[in-house]
Amino acid sequence: MGDLLYHEAVLIGIWLETLVYGIYVPLFFTCLWVVLCRKSVRPVNWKLLGPAIVMFILSTVHLVQGFVQSSNPALYYADLQRWKNVWSDAIYVTINFIGDGIVIYRCFVVWNYRKRIIILPLLGLLGSAVTGIYAVIGFHYVKPGDTAFVLRISAFARADFVLSLIVNVMCTGLIAFHIWRSARFIGSHLGGNHVGVYYGALAVIVESAAIYTISMAIYIGLYVSEMNAQYVLYLVNTQIIGIVPTLILVRVGLGLTHTSGWDTMQGSNLPYSHGGVFIADRDNPIQIRREREMVTDGSISLKTSRNSGSGEYGVTTVGYNRAGPSR
């Protein structure tokens, strides 16, 4: 099967980007409703909502500027130096930078603000941003007839895409590992009935990250193969990058998780507090003193301690302290 012509790939990409944007719009406004209109239930975390709003605005601009009128589409799209092409790529690099930054921030929060955990992801983010900027600048130096696969552009673009993928996989793996480790710890001390919320959160993280990871992996394969079809996924990914964090905010805000299927974690299945004491099980209560409860983008962080024969042990799970990092 032959490759698409460049202008054909662009036109198909814009069409598919529009379809994905049609999914993004109701999802984004649902996110606003969940976060802003239900702030009495869960405080607004502007560190996550703010970037989500910026990404939606940039994604909208990216889509709108793709609609042009030209009597000769092949000739128009062959001009890589046109300002709309450079502007489009600059928007993509910016959205990608913000999206990766959100992933790193969430990893930082989940790991209780341990700076050493995010050193490598931050270096990857910096490298991705620098190579992305160089790739965009490279369009000013292309010659008539050149494609986006010329070395001046492709060398930096490949590095940008690969580093972004590595950052996402690395942070998602760290988040998933921390939640899984917390679930095992809770299960070993309180029983398997109390780990469902952790595995639900784990499913949300992994499922949402898989959307971007798979799409980006396919895109990198097409780009390295120097196929024009890569531009289709390039345009679609612009919307997917914004959809992923928005989807997590919506799912967690509505209490949706994925266990054996799509279902809702009911409050009656979760631990509850009474009289300042944290009760893990209504029928077989184990009293755990609640030291601090912190709420973030739908993740609940609970630092608890329990007196036992061997002394006192602590449990720290997913979360964010609105007053700042725990000291």
Boundary-marking domain end, from 264, 279, 295:
264
Residue 226: count other Cβ atoms within 10 Å of its Cβ: 12
Boundary-marking domain end, from 264, 280, 303:
264
Query: Do 277 and 152 fall within a single domain?
Result: no
321 within some domain: no
CA angle 71, 73, 75 (to 5 degrees): 100
DSSP state of 41: T
Q: Which residues of 76-97 are buried (b: 16+ CB within 10 A; e: fewer)?
A: bbeebeeeebbebbbbbbbbbb
- The 10s digit of each residue's pLDDT in 146-161 is 788 888 888 899 999 9
CA distances from 88 to 62, 81, 82, 205, 224 (A): 6, 11, 10, 29, 20
Whole-angstrom Cα distance, residue 137 to residue 204?
Answer: 37
CA distances from 22 to 14, 17, 26, 233, 253 (A): 12, 9, 7, 16, 21
Query: Do 138 and 230 fall within a single domain?
Result: yes
- For residue 192, what pLDDT is reported? 60
DSSP state of 65: T
Whole-angstrom Cα distance, residue 174 to residue 180?
Answer: 10
Whole-angstrom Cα distance, residue 181 to residue 112?
Answer: 14
User: What confidence tier does 133 reach under pLDDT thresholds 50, 70, 90?
Assistant: very high
Whole-angstrom Cα distance, residue 106 to residue 117?
Answer: 12
Least Cα distance to 93 among 45, 49, 139 occurs for 139
Query: Do 305 and 167 fall within a single domain?
Result: no
**Is the confidence at residue 135, as pLDDT, over 70?**
yes
Structure tokens at 254: 């509505």
Whole-angstrom Cα distance, residue 90 to residue 134?
Answer: 10
- For residue 301, what pLDDT is reported? 44
| 67 Rama class: left (phi>0) / alpha (psi -120 to 50) / beta | beta
324 within some domain: no
Range with lowest mean pLDDT among 113-122, 205-214, 282-291: 282-291
Average pLDDT over residues 301-320: 40
- For residue 193, what pLDDT is reported? 64
326 within some domain: no
Query: Do 148 and 53 fall within a single domain?
Result: yes
**Is the confidence at residue 95, as pLDDT, over 90?**
yes
- For residue 79, what pLDDT is reported? 76
**Is the confidence at residue 288, as pLDDT, over 90?**
no
Structure tokens at 221: 């394969």
226 within some domain: yes
308 within some domain: yes
- The 10s digit of each residue's pLDDT in 232-281 is 999 999 999 999 888 888 876 676 543 322 233 333 333 333 333 333 33
- The 10s digit of each residue's pLDDT in 55-93 is 999 999 999 887 876 777 777 777 777 888 888 899 999
Give the largest Cα separation in the chain, rounded.
81
Structure tokens at 50: 């703010």
157 within some domain: yes
> Which CATH number covers residue 103?
1.20.1070
CA distances from 76 to 13, 84, 146, 175, 226 (A): 16, 11, 13, 44, 20
Which residue range is the domain that position 298 belongs to?
267-316
Query: What is the average pLDDT value for the chain, to the nearest integer?
Result: 75
Strand partners, 300: 295
Provide the number of structural domains found in the chain. Answer: 2
Query: Do 153 and 211 fall within a single domain?
Result: yes
271 within some domain: yes
Query: Do 181 and 278 fall within a single domain?
Result: no
User: What confidence tier does 194 reach under pLDDT thresholds 50, 70, 90?
Assistant: low
- For residue 284, what pLDDT is reported? 40
Name the range with the highest mean pLDDT among 1-5, 50-54, 76-80, 121-125: 121-125
What is the percentage of the chain residues whose pLDDT exceeds 90?
A: 31
Which residues are CB-neighbours of 208 under 8 A, at least 6 positions away?
244, 247, 248, 251
**Is the confidence at residue 196, as pLDDT, over 90?**
no
One-letter amino acid at 70 equals: S
Query: Do 236 and 271 fall within a single domain?
Result: no
User: What confidence tier does 182 reach under pLDDT thresholds 50, 70, 90?
Assistant: confident
Write the burial class of residue 203 (CB in 10 Å: 0-12 exposed, 13-18 middle, 19+ buried): middle
